[in-house]
Structure 1
Amino acid sequence: MVAIGDKVVYPMHGAGVVEALEEHEVLGKKQYYYVLTMLCSGMRVMIPQDQVDQVGLRAVVGETEIARVKEVLSGLPEQDTGNWNRRINHNLTKIKSGSIFEVAEVVRNLMKQEVGRRLSTAERRLLDTAKQILISELVLACDKDVDSVESWVDGLIQKNSAGQVNF
């Protein structure tokens, strides 16, 4: 159950806070909507109350999951899955899943791929989107500012060792 004030993640949009539950009439039908304010963009999103599960809205992760995100970011990248089109579709599926771990994998893989060779424009946009989604959730989960979370993520990937960067 979602409540006002909850910190939540909306797949493909990132993390935000439930600000209100409002009733609106659309096409002659009255319905309740959760109103979210998204952290990174400040965008206001309205989700029908009865469609929360279908859109994948979930609570922000806790400390146990943050430790696992740290492991994912510090881990080795996946093997290159072929051409850029296949890689984009594979990574997009992971982002749409709503799983912070899969989003962390996309960020790790694309950032490490970028070191070896230049990303295509589409892959660069995908990296930016995935990184924004990941950072927005970690900001709310850790109660830290965007810059320190981004530095932590970058440091974990660059050092490639969970023990060398503290958060």
Structure 2
Amino acid sequence: MTKMKKTEFRPDDFVVYPAHGVGKIISIEEQEIAGLRLELFVISFEKDKMTLRVPTHKAVDIGMRGLSSPDVVTKALETLKGKAKVKRAMWSRRAQEYEQKINSGDLLSIAEVVRDLHRADDQREQSYSERQLYEAALERLTREVAAVSGTDEAGAAKKVDEVLVGRAA
């Protein structure tokens, strides 16, 4: 794999930042930090009302990436149709693994978490922490599906939901 040049990302590009999901580069600015001049991507996560500044030379190393291709989105939606794979490990261990998958920024890993934690209406209740992880994964997946397909989040959520509900049938 070739090293991406820092010019790979431009203002107005949607990017995926591993720990926060889909954001939009609003500008590239220079700042002096501890005597060094740094070029920074200014990334807005509108839904979280958060702005992040990422040194351009570190972006790729920390796992920042462009949006997934439409076929990766298709694969992620296919993943949702699969049967939930729930290990018999203690919840704390599984929760940790789910959290790592969510924060990996990898769409297929995020889809696995959604699949594994999804509950149909007739299934047992989710614990609070299960619900939190499920919703975090679902939100990341939905935002990226929306950004890639150019639809709004509501439309993407409906699409994801249809796949999840359809698999139970």
Structure 1 length-normalised TM: 0.88
Residue of structure 2 equivalent to 1:86: 93
Q: Do residues 37 (structure 1) and 41 (structure 2) align?
A: no
Query: Are 1:108 and 2:127 counterparts?
Result: no
Aligned to 1:124: 131
User: How far apart, CA to CA, are the structure 2 residues paired with 1:56 and 1:70?
Assistant: 22
The whole-number CA distance in structure 1 between the counterparts of 2:72 and 2:46 is 20
Checking the alignment, whether the CA contact within 8 Å between 1:40 and 1:132 is kept in structure 2 is no
Deviations 1:58-79 (A, max 9, x none): 0101221121111011111113
- Tell me the SS of whatever aligns to 1:92: helix
Tell me how far 1:39 sits from its aligned partner: 4.5
Give unmatched runs, 5+ long, in structure 1: none
**Alignment counterpart, residue 50 of structure 1, candidates 57, 74, 89:** 57
Computed over aligned residues only, the root mean square deviation of the Cα atoms, in angstroms, reads 2.0
What amino acid does structure 1 have at the position aligned with 2:27?
Answer: A
In structure 2, what is the Cα distance between the partners aligned to 1:128 and 1:70? Answer: 16
1:72 equivalenced with 2:79 (yes/no): yes
What's 1:152 paired with? 159
Gaps of 5+ in 2: 1-7
Please say which of residues 49-58 and 38-47 is displaced more in the overlay. 38-47
Identity percentage of aligned residues: 27
Measured at CA, do residues 23 and 8 of structure 1 come closer, stay the same or move farther in structure 2, by a change above 3 Å? same
Number of matched pairs: 162
Correspondence for 1:19: 26
Q: Residues 36, 115 of structure 1: CA spacing in aligned structure 2 closer, same or farther, 3 A cutoff? A: farther
The runs of 4+ residues in structure 1 deviating greater than 3 Å are 112-115
Q: Following TM superposition, by how much is the alpha carbon of 1:82 offset from its aligned partner in structure 2, in angstroms? A: 2.2
Aligned pair 1:95/2:130, yes or no?
A: no
Contact 2:20 2:103 in 1 (8 A): no
1:61-105 superposed Cα distances (whole Å, 9 cap, x missing partner): 122112111101111111334221011011112112211000011
